Amino acid sequence: MNQQKKVLLGVSGGIAAYKACALTSQLVQRGYDVRVIMTEGATQFVSPLTFQALSRNPVFTDAFDEKNPEKIAHIDLADWADFVLLAPATAHLLGRVANGLADDMLTTTLLATTAPVYVAPAMNVHMYDHPAVKANLKTLDGYGYRFIEPGAGYLACGYVGKGRLEEPERIIEVIEQNEAVDQPLKGKNVLVTAGPTVEVIDAVRYFTNHSSGKMGYALAEVAKQLGANVTLVSGPVDLDEIVGVEMVHVTSAKEMYDAVTTRFEHQDFVVKSAAVADYRPKDTQTNKMKKKDGNLSIEMERTDDILKTLGEMKQHQYLVGFAAETDHILEYGKSKLERKNLDAIAVNDISEDKHGFKSDTNAVHVLTKKGLEQSIPLKTKHEIAQDLWSIFTEELLGESK
């Protein structure tokens, strides 16, 4: 897979630098040629000699230490690398790179390279959530950098949360997946909807459903990895935003309808995986309704059918719907495919254990306008998303991954 690929590993000054040692070792064992650049802060945590022994190559720490007079080191390294990996990438490093600073060996080399750059952040959970860090990540995404999200767990500072450097095995897995895959969606515009909608009754009460948004977020993330320009229209969920994806947060079915229909014209793919309310209270109260004796009746009215509207508006777009059913799975799926003028529909049986809402796994039946019928067995939602995009892109673009 790696074919002696050349990896330039940038290590910055955080306690997670110790994991970069294991990362270096595993890369070398897999046959990669690894060269390491350390920031001054990184040398306070790990000795350059450690990385030299693990990589079997010289380690670079000083932009002014030119080891070979025939070459300018940072230009030579920038041209040499097949890809660059920043692990760990501290908040300080992200800020310097995002702002184009070149004040040490690592940042100077980053400005000079045209190779793909992978970023594996590591920092305190509150630092990772700071608006400045988020802005820097967004800037780097605009430069084309690719991100390996930090894990959640116990941090060196004593906090428990997101910010821990991803494990070396996972970092390598993500890179190899990205380096191996082509990008059939490059330049395509993809819109995905995810999560539930919330329909207000009064100041404290509302109607909603069990959707967690996990399937839609997985679809958006995979589309991004395949090169698409992705917009994710999301109802209220407890999930992290996806770096590099345009996030549009909505609450009600009406807000989701407006967000999707106004953007539909410019999309190539629209995948509507959100669980949108079919009904909403006809009248809502701005104050809290007080409890009274007897039963309560609330008159409900239909919400706008987003998928049906998109089917009527459709011109060149490839339109995908989702259906969560408890019985007559294929019958209902085929009916919805035809009635709403869809190109494809993914139907899942939510009566089955580990399928559908809130679960990390799913199994779906895929039906397409061209007559394809395919069952995807129980897998993680990320794997399901990969399989679905393989089907969709092959149908519309004639490409098979």
Q: H or E element: which one contains 270? A: strand 269-272
Q: H or E element: which one contains 324? A: strand 318-325
How far is 252 from 258, CA to CA, in rounded Å? 10
Q: Would the annotation count 71 as a binding residue? A: no
In 123-265, where do the E strands start and end? 146-147, 151-154, 160-164, 189-194, 199-200, 206-207, 229-234, 246-249
Q: Calculate the alpha carbon distances from 101 to 18, 72, 243 in Å.
A: 25, 18, 22
How far is 113 from 245, CA to CA, in rounded Å? 24
Residues 6 or more apart from 158 whose CB is under 8 A from it? none
How far is 194 from 223, CA to CA, in rounded Å? 14
Instruction: Name the burial class of residue 48, with classes exposed (0-12), middle (13-18) and buried (19+) by CB atoms within 10 angstroms of its CB.
Output: middle
Q: Which residues of 200-229 are buried (b: 16+ CB within 10 A; e: fewer)?
A: bbbeeebbebebbbbbbbbbbbbbbbbbbb
How far is 379 from 388, CA to CA, in rounded Å? 12
Residues 214/360, Cβ–Cβ less than 8 Å = yes
* Domains and their CATH numbers in the chain: 6-180 (3.40.50.1950), 189-397 (3.40.50.10300)
Count helices and strands in the chain by DSSP H and E runs: 13, 20
How far is 348 from 334, CA to CA, in rounded Å? 13
Residues in the chain: 401
According to DSSP, residue 275 is labeled B
Q: Which residue in the list 157, 237, 313, 350 is annotated as catalytic?
A: 157
Q: Would the annotation count 134 as a binding residue? A: no
157 is catalytic: yes
Q: Would the annotation count 340 as a binding residue? A: yes
Each residue's pLDDT, cut to its tens digit, for the chain (401 residues) gives 445 789 999 999 999 999 999 999 999 999 999 999 999 999 999 999 999 999 999 999 998 887 777 788 899 999 999 999 999 999 999 999 999 999 999 999 999 998 899 999 999 888 999 999 999 999 998 888 999 988 766 556 665 567 789 999 999 988 887 776 667 898 899 999 999 999 999 999 999 999 999 999 999 999 988 889 999 999 999 998 887 789 999 999 999 999 999 999 999 999 999 999 999 999 999 899 998 899 989 999 999 999 999 999 999 999 999 998 777 888 889 999 999 999 999 998 877 766 667 688 889 999 999 999 999 999 899 899 999 999 999 887 764 44
Q: Would the annotation count 292 as a binding residue? A: no
Q: What amino acid is encoded at 157 in this protein?
A: C
The three-state secondary structure class of 11 is strand
Q: Would the annotation count 288 as a binding residue? A: yes
Residues 206/280, Cβ–Cβ less than 8 Å = no
How far is 208 from 194, CA to CA, in rounded Å? 13
